[in-house]
Structure 1
Amino acid sequence: MSGQSEAESMSEREAIEALETLGLSNYEAQVFVALQRLGSASAQAVSRRSEVPRSQVYGAADDLAERGLLEVVESSPKTYRPVGLSTARQLLTERLERETDRAFETLENLRASDPSPTGGDVSTLRGRQPIDDRIASLVGDAESTVVFVSPTAGSLTDDITAALRDAASGGVAATLVTAEPSLRDQFRGTPIEVFVMSEDNPADFAGRALMVDDRTVLLAAETDAEPVEEEALWTGDSSIGRILAAFMRSGMESGRDRHRDTS
């Protein structure tokens, strides 16, 4: 990409990488990006603007035309013109959605059984969404008790909230431990017990925590890695789970006792 500033080159590389993520090959992405700069151009001009050999421009451009992303101008020499960006966005988005649906339909057919870990496993998760989903799933599997440590209102998602409400309505003893007083109002009128740690009864929350049926425990905290993200460890129906549950139960009862002493 001769004749470009470093900033231009970096922007084009980012665009190329993004288009590859959306399903274009490297050559296809380079040709499409080059044509955004050139508007309408021959294979030779595209090759000069990009890092695609001229012999490879033709094939990449034909593939893009088949996808509906380029117009082929039958001139001498043949030239290419990109479709509008709104059209390209729609075409690539629809294709990505189709491929996503196809991939997961195939995976659903291939899956032999429920992939949930069996009792005794110790598992780790990374990323807020997978952890949120696992918390909601574990709460939904509760049979007798649930204790969820939610430092702030932001620690709760709609799915986790719904799972807690459903569990409590089904007879599960559900407790929410938090430092956010507003959560008491949020769950007022429900069977969920909300225990708010006051200034006179402080608690340093390292992150979110969940205990289910005194044997399944999930602990989640933000890491110091860049970018900052949440990581979690959880174990179900294992000796480690029962030990961690005993510590959580003891800490919760101790907190209740201190709260009664200061109230």
Structure 2
Amino acid sequence: MTDDENTAVDAFEGLGLTSYQAKVFIALHRLGAGTARDVADITDVPRSQVYSVAESLEEQGLLEVQQSNPIRYRPVSVDEARETLRDQFEREQDRAFEYVESVRDDAAGEETQEDIWTVRSRDRIDDRVVDLLSEADEKIVFGTRLPELVTDAIERVLAERAAAGVSVHVISRTDAIRDRLGALEGVTAEIPPFYREEEERSGRFVVVDDDGLLLSVVGDDGSETAIWSSGSLFASVLIQLIEAGDEL
């Protein structure tokens, strides 16, 4: 098969067909109509398998069978097949997510709660930081030593929350970060009172109001991993400990 045909087979598999079903369907469109032998001649589907595969495609409404000797098969039009597979995909999607929703509803009745979450990869942590900052009603403390961890989206949401009256405080030992974020109206930027010059593992930290927290570390390969919590006892207690340490 060509690369294009392999790609098409993979796509049909994503729509719910098996590899053999996809190959037979494509072969019949190439032929216009044909017997099991015709299909086997231009695919790697064994002739003995073509019959059962064609029967399954007929059940799905993707081909028609001519009762002749030998039996001949003809695919439905591309538009009809597209609609049939779309309807099938949507039905399966509904069935899958209806079950997931029922499981979620059952879990919602539980009293246990996951308070601490782990996030890996820079992009996902960027998104989580923006989400946490966007939820701030009273105060934000944002800190990092790495300019690349201050995205445009983070800068924008800090400015927006400051304009909305939220107290926004930036802490960084890096001049460029303090200059950049401290220039935003309503945002204060300071050097942390205590830090180690040789410390190279810290990523960023976010404190939102009294119950939102994110802390990240950077690996030797530059990858970032974070833990975060919001609206939990864990976050509230840890924030209190951080604030008490600042006062010592």
Q: TM-score, normalised by structure 2?
A: 0.56
Question: Structure 1 residue 211 and structure 2 residue 207: aligned?
Answer: yes
Matched-pair contact (CA < 8 Å) for 1:153–1:183: no
Q: Distance in 1 between matches of 2:12 and 2:178?
A: 43
Q: Distance in 1 between matches of 2:87 and 2:219?
A: 36
Shift of 1:103: 5.2
Match of 1:257 in 2: none
Q: Which amino acid aligns with 2:73?
A: T
- With over 3 angstroms needed to count, the CA separation of the structure-2 counterparts of 1:25 and 1:210, relative to structure 1, is farther
Match of 1:22 in 2: 15
Q: 1:156 aligns with which of 138, 151, 156?
A: 151
Question: Structure 1 residue 58 and structure 2 residue 51: aligned?
Answer: no
- With over 3 angstroms needed to count, the CA separation of the structure-2 counterparts of 1:188 and 1:244, relative to structure 1, is same
Q: Which amino acid aligns with 1:24?
A: L
Q: 1:134 aligns with which of 108, 128, 134?
A: 128
Q: Distance in 1 between matches of 2:89 and 2:178?
A: 39
Shift of 1:123: 1.7
Alignment of 1:75-114 (within 5 A): 76=68, 77-81=71-75, 83=77, 96=89, 100=93, 104=97, 107=100, 111-112=104-105, 113=108
RMSD across aligned positions (CA): 5.3
Q: 2:186 aligns with which of 183, 191, 206?
A: 191
Q: Which runs of 5+ in 1 are unaligned?
A: 254-263
Matched-pair contact (CA < 8 Å) for 1:222–1:230: yes
Residues paired across the two proteins, number: 230
| Structure with greater Cα Rg | 2
Shift of 1:218: 2.0
Matched-pair contact (CA < 8 Å) for 2:167–2:187: yes
Match of 2:166 in 1: 172
Q: TM-score, normalised by structure 1?
A: 0.54
Match of 1:261 in 2: none
Percent sequence identity over matched residues?
Answer: 28
Q: Distance in 2 between matches of 1:98 and 1:176?
A: 50
- With over 3 angstroms needed to count, the CA separation of the structure-2 counterparts of 1:205 and 1:183, relative to structure 1, is farther
Question: Structure 1 residue 242 and structure 2 residue 238: aligned?
Answer: yes
Q: Distance in 1 between matches of 2:28 and 2:204?
A: 49
Match of 1:44 in 2: 37
Q: Map Cα deviations across residues 68-114 of structure 1 (whole Å, 9 max, x no partner).
A: xx564858542334755x98778756865676577557755764349
Q: Which runs of 5+ in 2 are unaligned?
A: none
